[in-house]
Amino acid sequence: MDINTIWYALIAVLFIGYFFLEGFDFGVGILLPIVAKDDTERRIVINTVGPFWDANEVWLITAGGAMFAAFPDWYATLFSGFYLPLFLILVALIVRAVGFEFRGKIADARWRRAADSAIVLGSALPAFLWGVAITNLVRGVPIGADMQFQGNLLTLLNPFSLLGGLVSISVFALHGALFLNLRADEVVAERSRLLALRLWWPSAVVLLAFFLFSYTQTDLFSRSGLVPGTLPVLAMITFVASTVLARLRWNGWAFATTGLTIVLATVVAFEGLYPRVMPSSLGKSFDLTVYNASSSPLTLRVMLIVAIVFVPIVLAYQGYSYWVFRRRVTRRSIPGS
């Protein structure tokens, strides 16, 4: 494995971690007004992700920084061509952060409703737009010989990518419901489990449609796994297992299987792309790859040393934070409830 491939794999791992972790707190934010019936329950729901949501976003920041340093042409083409969707994701994340941080600063019902709306919008919009962006990435977009994106916003808002957005927002919501089932008090937890069972069916419909549509729109299934097509099938199996396990009240395993579905789907995307990083719909000769879009070998080697030293430290710290805040959030833990 050459150093270009190593850096591509590292960036893929960062996005896998981001979608797995941010997926459940996006889902929690989306479901906030549905699973919580009063202000105390809303505080319980928010506090389940309170210690984690900002740390989860570090995975995205690190992935973007690694992409910029290791594959600058990929970064430039992606962020210029997908400028508006990525800008909207950034704005939504800022709005969500404002909702989390300032909700409890003023004891006013209207203020808290506005903060709750910010959390819902700031969770739902990125959850949808990430699906749109990744779907366009694997499908291919018009890139010319100068590595410039030659489309517009309507190019990105095609039926296949919009379906991908529906898949991501529905699966993240399901992931979030099962996370709440593990982390919230008994009333909210059971309400979240029942909601997860209801969410599974519409999620299954859009996921199956996306699965079938992908055969005609991409070449991912012919390129993923030691046996082509195995990883997408495994992702579908883990998704089906999540509802079975939730019905059996094997709650931890149900959450793990939705997380594994997200992980496998992301692996399918990145493995199916390789060695490309952005396929061009104008011709294979215009594809951006891990070789023609990369930094110099010296830059990649120096950054690899830095990553080997510091990434384990960050992982250890985040793992410790999850261990410290592992207990359920109950009404007794909410001051003044």
Predicted confidence (pLDDT) at residue 214 exceeds the cutoff of 70: yes
pLDDT of 223 higher than 80: no
Inter-helix orientation angle 159-183/186-217, to 10°:
160
Token pair recorded at residue 277: 């990083």
Residue-level pLDDT at 177: 96
User: For the chain, first and last CA: distance in Å?
Assistant: 56
The torsion angles phi and psi of 306, rounded to 5 degrees, stand at -60, -40
Cα–Cα distance, 26 to 22 (Å, whole number): 6
Alpha-carbon distance of 112 to 33, in angstroms, equals 12
At 268, list the tokens: 């399918």
Query: 24 is written with which tokens?
Result: 């459940």
Number of domains in the chain: 1
Q: Report how far residue 13's alpha carbon sits from residue 200's, in angstroms, rounded to the nearest whole number.
A: 26
Q: Cα separation of 234 and 197, whole Å? A: 20
Does 157 have pLDDT greater than 70?
Answer: yes
The tens digit of pLDDT for each residue in 13-59 reads 999 999 999 999 999 999 999 999 888 999 999 999 988 888 899 89
Angle at 49 between CA 43 and CA 53, to 5 degrees: 130
224 confidence band (pLDDT: 50, 70, 90):
low
Q: Contact 19/267 with Cβ under 8 angstroms? A: no
**pLDDT value, residue 238:** 95
pLDDT digits (tens, 9 = 90+) for 290-330: 999 999 989 899 989 988 888 888 889 888 988 988 888 88
Give the pTM. Answer: 0.93
Domain membership of residue 149 as a residue range: 3-333
